[in-house]
Structure 1
Amino acid sequence: MFEYKIDKEISLQLIEPSDAFPLLSLVNESRPYLREWLPWVDSMRSISDYDDLIPEWRTQYYNNQGFQAIIRYYDEIAGMVGFHAINWGNKSTSLGYWIGEQFQGKGIMTRAVHGCLTYAFDTLKLHRVEIRCGVDNHKSRAVPTRLGFTEEGICRDGEYLYDHYHDLVIYGILQHEWKKLNSKETAL
């Protein structure tokens, strides 16, 4: 099983079928908060909605296409983070994430994404990672900004969100940029 320890508080784990109930509970507790920016929230209403997704997410990992992981904060599920399909020809991927409302503001997502980037560049030897966020989703945009991503542009009407399209801002970071940023952190 995949487990990636970020620090003493946070770890990432490949989702197990037994995680469906606590994951759904977290979505239910944070539904209005998550629904503002995530188009899948309304489709996750029962444990059975995870029946096909969890095996797909596990297959993604076993097929060396990245992972979808639960974020454990002091062993409690706080959200999810993961890679969309890896383009091995270009050694690139994109990263998505969400966190339950009660876990907001603790630096959990920044540390989880930092761990994913370390894994992407050091273990998978990828060249580029991209993150797309709603232009007005300032909390989500703060994560790539904090981690040294470059804002590369706007994808107009890039995502359909329930009853309207909204623009996405595209952030990217390259392996050599990540290495340089992290060598500075180590030197401090």
Structure 2
Amino acid sequence: MENENSAIARFESFSIEPIHEKYAWRICDFVTINSGRLQRYFPITLAANLTPSLSQIFVEQKVHEYQKNEEFLFVLKDNENRTIIGLVYIKELNWEKKQAELAYCIGYQFEGKGITSLAVDTLSKYATNDLGLKTLQIIVHKTNNGSIRVAEKCGYTWQKVLLKEHTPPSESPLDMELYELHV
């Protein structure tokens, strides 16, 4: 079992911690409470966490991927009540190019408080300093103003439109905006 010192970073109201088996139930709670927010851009995460049993399988897989340096999932944990308030992925890792994508979501009640920007900035530094990555990407839809603000606030710059990059459930493919941070 991880202890309180396992956090990548600890702030006044929340901490950033690597995925761990102990978070399965809390991730299920987070996903079900925020299902409306997650269904369009995080449909796989949503579908994989609709029940505690599914969440247990999801978390075991993500812990395994983390240990093998295939994908890194971090939880944003409220320090007071220990609930999960957000998730940040470092994914689509290309170790040869030293490149990865960051994807993030925050609970509706924590939106607009600067938590996501602080988490993305912290994990961008972790990805470059600790993992040795040189190019980080954030892919966002042009209508997701909050996510665009997070990318820009964290030093990511717009690169180009990615045509038909993401297909939400029961929708046509969407063009997405590519932001990058180069170290």
Q: Could you say whether these structures have the same fold, taking a TM-score greater than 0.5 normalized by the shorter chain as the test?
A: yes
* Structure 2 residue aligned with 1:125: 132
TM-score (ref. length: structure 2): 0.87
Corresponding position: 1:44 with 2:56? no
**Structure 1 residue 30 corresponds to structure 2 residue 38:** no
Q: Which residue in the other structure is 2:106 paired with?
A: 99
Task: Give aligned-pair identity as a percent.
Answer: 23
Look up the equivalent residue of 1:168 and give its one-letter code. M
Superposed, 1:56-135 pairs within 5 Å as 56-74=61-79, 75-135=82-142
1:169 aligns with 2:173: no
The 1-side partners of 2:66 and 2:34 are apart by: 27
CA distance in 1, matches of 2:162, 2:114: 27
- Go from structure 1 to structure 2 and tell me whether the alpha carbon gap of 1:58 and 1:43 turns closer, same or farther (over 3 Å shift): closer
Task: Kindly indicate whether the alpha-carbon contact (under 8 Å) linking 1:151 and 1:172 is maintained by their aligned counterparts in 2.
Answer: yes
CA distance in 1, matches of 2:26, 2:100: 28
3-state DSSP class of the match of 2:30? helix
Amino acid corresponding to residue 84 of structure 1 in structure 2: K
- The runs of at least 4 aligned residues of structure 1 exceeding 4 Å deviation read none
Q: Does 1:10 align with 2:14?
A: yes
Q: d(CA) in 1 for partners of 2:174 and 2:106?
A: 21
Q: Give deviations 1:28-69, integer Å, cap 9, x for gaps.
A: 222223224332334532112223321221122212335101
Q: Distance in 1 between matches of 2:36 and 2:58?
A: 22
- Is 1:149 the counterpart of 2:149 in the alignment? no
The residue that corresponds to 2:145 in the other structure is: 138
Could you tell me which runs of 5 or more consecutive residues in structure 2 were left unpaired when the two chains were aligned: none
Deviations 1:109-141 (A, max 9, x none): 100001101101111121110010122111112
RMSD of Structure 2 on Structure 1 (CA):
1.8
Unpaired segments ≥5 residues, structure 1: 176-188
Q: Secondary structure at the match of 2:167?
A: strand
8 Å CA contact 1:26–1:100 kept in 2: the answer is yes
Letter in 1 for 2:115: I
Question: d(CA) in 1 for partners of 2:69 and 2:29?
Answer: 29
Q: Is the 8 A contact 1:83 1:96 kept in 2?
A: yes
Partner Cα distance (2:164, 2:148) in 1: 17
Please state how far the C-alpha of 1:148 moved relative to its aligned partner.
1.5
Q: Is the 8 A contact 1:96 1:131 kept in 2?
A: yes
What is the TM-score normalised by the length of structure 1? 0.85
Q: How many residues align?
A: 175
Deviation at 1:27, TM superposition (A): 1.6
Q: Which amino acid is 1:48 matched to?
A: S
